[in-house]
Amino acid sequence: MAGNVDSMADKRFIVSSSPHWRSPVATPQIMRDVIIALLPASVMGIIFFKLHALLIILVSVIFAVLTEAVIQKALHKPVTINDYSAAVAGLLLALVLPPTVPLWIPAIGSIVAIGIAKHVFGGLGQNPFNPALIGRAVLLASWPVLMTRWVWPVSQAPWMQGFDALTTATPLALLKLSGIKTPYAALFFGNVAGCIGETSVPAILLGALYLIWRGHITLRIPGYFIGTVAVLSALFRQDPLFHVLAGGLMLGAFFMATDYVSTPVTPRGQALFGIGCGVLTVMIRLFGGYPEGVCYAILIMDAATAVLDKFTRPRRFGEVRRSA
Amino acid sequence: MNLRSFLGGTHVPHSKEATAAKPIREARLPAKVTIPLHQHTGAPCEPLVKVGDHVLVGQKIGDSPAKLTAPVHASVSGKVAAIGYYLQSGGRLVNSIVIESDGEQQLSPDVRPRGTVEDLSSEDIVNIIREAGIVGLGGAAFPTYFKLVPPPGKKFDTLVINGSECEPYLTADHRIMLERPDDIVYGIKALMKAARVGRAFVGIEDNKPDAIEAIRRAVSGVPGIEVVALATKYPQGAEKQLVKAILGREIPSGGLPVDVGVVVNNVGTAAAVADALKEGMPLVERVVTVAGSCVREPQNLRVRIGTSIGELIEECGGFVKEPAKVIIGGPMMGVAQFSLDVPVTKGTSGVLALSRGEVEAEDVSMPCVRCGKCVEVCPMRLLPLFISQRAEAGRFDEAEEYNALDCIECGSCSYICPSRRPLVQAIRLAKSEIMARRRKKQ
C-alpha cells in the first residue's frame, strides 16, 4: 500500500447516517424572517398610532423574551431565546392589541402567551394553540373594556362628520352596530381604528409576499381562509370586499393561520383549516356577539389541527385504493 | 420545453462543476486490489481461487450457486495474496480476495467477444450479463440479469434507462454519456432484447444538455429508443420517481417496476453490458467521481474494482484540507467512511471528501416546529415528521401505520428540515425494527 494512505488512515472522520448535508435554511432564520415580514405592519402601526404603539410593541417583545428566559432558567433547560420564536410571539401579540392599552397589558399578555400557551405544553413546537392569540384571548376576557378602546388615526375623516360618539369603534363594529360602511380606501391603507398591526393591508401583504418568496409559507391556508370569507359573506348578502379588508383577517390569515406549530401539515388539512377559519370568522362576525371573529376562528381551528392531520393524510406514492 | 417530473422532491445544489467538464481518466494500476466476494444484493460468492494462485484480468474468482448473486472477477493480473475478512464501504467486514498485481494486466482467455445483439438470443444475453457479474452501477448493485427475467405471470413492455444522476457532485454517468454514447446505445439494445421489450426511454435531467444531445444523436435512426429530458429535481433518479416521470406509471406500494411492466437500468450498466458482449470483459472496472472541496484535483477516474479509496484520493492530489467526512456515493444517500482503506466496489459511484463547512454537525438539532417542509418534499408523499416522531419514541407499530416501509430513504426530508431533525435516520431505524418484528412473527 502507498505510504501516504497509511498516514491518512489516522485521520478521524465524522461518521453518521445520510444525508450528509443540509439545506442552509434553519428554524431561527425562518423566525427572523417572520420578524422582518412583520416590520412593514409594525411601522405602519407606529405611524398611525404614534409612540404608544411603539411602546406596546417593545414591552410585548421584551416580556415575551424575558418570560422564556426565566422559565427555561428556572427549569434548568437551555435558554433558547436566540431562536427568535419568543420574539415572534411577542411581536404578533403586540400587533393584535388595541393601540390604547396601558403598558401592563402587553406585559401580562406576553407572560400568558409564552408561560402558559407555550411552555406549559413543552415549549417550542409543542403548543397546540397560537401563543399570541391565546395571550390576546385571555386579555380580552379579563379586561374587556381596556381591550376594546379604539382610536382613529385620522380623528376626523370627512365622511365621519356627525358620528363623533362612534369614533372609538372599528369599521366592523361601525357596520355591525350602526350600519356605517368605512370606505375601501381607508380600509385598505389602514387609517382606521383597529389593532396596531392589522389595519394596513399593503403592509401586511408586503410582509406576506416576503415569506412566500423565501419559501416559508404557502398561499394554501391564507388563500382558502380569505376566499371562504369572501364567498360566504357574499352568500349572506354582505359586501365581500369589505369583509376581506376589514378587521384582522389579513394579519390573521397570513401570519396567525400560517403559524407552523398550531396548524396542519398536510395539504388537504391546510385547505380544510383555511376553510374552517373562514366559516367561523364569518359566523362570528355576522351572528356572534363580537364584531370580529378572526382570533377565535383560528384558535378553534387550532384545536382541530391534530384531527385534520390524522384524517387528511396524502395519498402516498403507489397507494392502491382498496375500492378500485 | 415541457419537462417531465414527479410530485414532491427538492432542489439541492448540484455541485457538479468541478468534474463535469473533465474527461474520464484511467486510474493508475494499483499495487494490490481487495475484491469483496459480496458487493451486490443477494448471496455472497464463494472463492474459486486459493492463496498463491496466479489470476488473470477478467478471470472469475468468486461465484455462488444461489439464485440471486453476482460473480466477481479479478481486476488485475497477479498473485492471490490473501483471502479473508476485510473492511468494506458498508462498515462491515466482508470475505474478500486480495490480489497483488504483477503489472502485466494479462487477459484471461475467457475474455473474448460473445457475439452481436442480433445473433444472440435473449437467454444468451441474460447469461452473458450474469457471467460478467454485472450489477446496477447506479449504487444499488442489484444483479442485472435477475431484473431482466420477469417473474412468472408478469411481462415487461418498456425498458427505462436512468441517466438522471440526481445526486450532487457525481458526474460519472454524465461523462460516460458524453464519452461512450454508442456503447450505451448498444447496451440498451442488448438489454431490450434480453427483457423482450420493443421500446426504451433514456431519462436525463435537463442540467446535462450535452448528455441529452449526445445520446439523442446516438439513438437517431435506432427504432424504439427515445431520450426524455427530465426536470432537475432530487430524487429524479430514484426508480419509482423516474418511472413515474417518464411513463406516468406508479409502481404500487411494496412493489417492483415489473408490476407496471418496466425494467430500469443505469446508463453505466448499459455501457458495461456493451463491454461484456463486444469484448467479453466482465465488470472489473468502473468510473468513480472523486470530488468534494477537500480534494485537490477532483475528477472522474476509471478504476479497477478493489482499489482502495485512499489511493484514488492520492491520485487526485490528496487532501487540500482535512475533510470532516469521507463519503462513498453522494451526499444525499452515500455512506460515511471512517477509514480510507476500503475498496471501490461495483456500486461505488463516487468518493467525496467534504469539509466542516459542507457537512453539518448532527448535534445542532432543534425541536420540530411542524413547518411541514418534509411533507412538501417527500417524493413518496409520506409524513416524515410523524414517522420519525413515533420512531424516536420507540412506537414502531405506529410508525408502520404511517407507512414507514414506503420510505425510499432519499434524505429529502432531513435535507430540508430547518430544525435539523434526523428524520430519515429515525425512519430507517423504524424500518429495520418493523422488518425485524415481521421476521420474528414468521
pLDDT of residue A285: 95
* Average pLDDT value for chain A: 90
CATH number at residue B188: 3.40.50.11540
Say if residue A323's pLDDT is above 90: no
- What is the rounded distance in angstroms from the CA atom of residue B205 to the CA atom of residue B88? 31
Residue B162 sits in the same domain as residue B308: no
pLDDT of residue A24: 87
pLDDT of residue A157: 56
Residue B92 sits in the same domain as residue B103: yes
Task: Measure A147 CA to nearest chain B CA, in Å.
Answer: 30
Q: Tell which residue, A184, A250, A241, A200, has the closest CA to residue A223.
A: A250
With bands split at pLDDT 50, 70 and 90, how would you rate the model's confidence at B2? low
Task: Measure A80 CA to nearest chain B CA, in Å.
Answer: 10
pLDDT of residue A10: 54
Lowest mean pLDDT among A170-184, B138-152, B245-259: A170-184
> Residue B139's domain spans which residues?
112-278
Q: Is residue B22 part of a domain?
A: no
φ, ψ (nearest 5 deg) of residue A255: -120, -20
Q: Tell which residue, B262, B249, B281, B247, has the closest CA to residue B191.
A: B262
Dihedral angle computed from the Cα positions of residues B329, B331, B334 and B340, in that order, rounded to the nearest 10 degrees: 70
B contact residues 167-196, partner A, Cβ 8 Å cutoff: 168
Q: Is residue B125 part of a domain?
A: yes
- What is the rounded distance in angstroms from the CA atom of residue A155 to the CA atom of residue B151? 82
Residue B336 is nearest to which of A14, A23, A270, comparing CB atoms?
A14
pLDDT digit string, tens, across residues B87-104: 999 889 999 999 999 999
- Beta strand pairing status for B78-87 and B60-63? unpaired
Q: Is residue B2 part of a domain?
A: no
* Average pLDDT value for chain B: 94
- What is the rounded distance in angstroms from the CA atom of residue B427 to the CA atom of residue B320? 35
Say if residue B30's pLDDT is above 90: yes
pLDDT digit string, tens, across residues B121-156: 999 999 999 999 999 998 789 999 999 999 999 999
Residue B177 sits in the same domain as residue B202: yes
pLDDT of residue B247: 95
Q: Is residue B99 part of a domain?
A: yes
Q: Which residues contact A12 (CB under 8 A, 6 or more apart)?
A: B338
Residue B177 sits in the same domain as residue B67: no
Say if residue A257's pLDDT is above 70: yes
Q: Tell which residue, A286, A200, A203, has the closest CA to residue A248.
A: A200
Task: Measure A199 CA to nearest chain B CA, in Å.
Answer: 27
Say if residue B264's pLDDT is above 80: yes
Q: Is residue B266 part of a domain?
A: yes
pLDDT of residue B139: 76
pLDDT of residue B282: 97
Say if residue A246's pLDDT is above 80: yes
Residue B342 sits in the same domain as residue B432: no
Q: Tell which residue, B356, B360, B337, has the closest CA to residue B414.
A: B360
pLDDT digit string, tens, across residues B330-353: 999 999 999 999 999 999 999 999
pLDDT of residue A322: 53
Domain boundaries, chain A: 27-146, 153-193, 217-309
Q: Is residue B201 part of a domain?
A: yes
pLDDT of residue A4: 42
Residue B121 sits in the same domain as residue B252: yes
pLDDT of residue A3: 38
Task: Report yes or no: A242 and A175 within 8 Å, Cβ to Cβ.
Answer: yes
Could you tell me which chain B residue has the CA closest to the CA of A315? B381
Residue B188 sits in the same domain as residue B313: no
Helices (H), chain A: 3-8, 27-74, 85-95, 104-110, 131-142, 171-173, 184-189, 201-213, 220-235, 240-245, 249-251, 267-287, 294-311
> Please, what is the Cα angle at A227 between A225 and A228, to 5 degrees?
65
With bands split at pLDDT 50, 70 and 90, how would you rate the model's confidence at A166? very low
Are the beta carbons of A17 and B313 separated by less than 8 Å? no
Dihedral angle computed from the Cα positions of residues A47, A50, A52 and A58, in that order, rounded to the nearest 10 degrees: 30
pLDDT of residue B3: 76
β partners of residue B170: none
pLDDT of residue B300: 96
Say if residue B225's pLDDT is above 70: yes
Residue B386 sits in the same domain as residue B324: no
Residue B77 sits in the same domain as residue B159: no
Residue A317 is nearest to which of B333, B335, B380, comparing CB atoms?
B380
β partners of residue B229: B204
H/E stretch holding B95 reads: strand B93-101
Residue B84 sits in the same domain as residue B47: yes
Which of A16, A23, A81 is the best mutation test for B, with the most CBs of B within 10 A? A23
CATH number at residue B320: 3.10.20.600
Residue A318 is nearest to which of B91, B255, B331, comparing CB atoms?
B255
Residue B79 sits in the same domain as residue B123: no
β partners of residue B308: B343
Domain end point (choices B250, B278, B306): B278
With bands split at pLDDT 50, 70 and 90, how would you rate the model's confidence at A38? very high
Contacts of A2 in chain B (CB under 8 A): 31, 310-311, 314
pLDDT digit string, tens, across residues A75-99: 999 999 999 999 999 999 999 999 9
Q: Which residues contact B4 (CB under 8 A, 6 or more apart)?
A: B228, B229, B230, B231, B245, B246
Say if residue A216's pLDDT is above 90: yes
Helices (H), B248-296: 267-278
pLDDT of residue A180: 84
pLDDT of residue B357: 81
Q: Is residue B226 part of a domain?
A: yes
Residue B43 sits in the same domain as residue B120: no
Domain end point (choices B278, B309, B341): B278
Say if residue A224's pLDDT is above 70: yes
Domain end point (choices B278, B309, B339): B278
Please count the structural domains in chain B: 3
Task: Measure B375 CA to nearest chain A CA, in Å.
Answer: 7
Residue B331 is nearest to which of A21, A83, A270, comparing CB atoms?
A21
Q: Is residue B413 part of a domain?
A: yes
Task: Report yes or no: A259 and A130 within 8 Å, Cβ to Cβ.
Answer: yes
Say if residue B270's pLDDT is above 70: yes
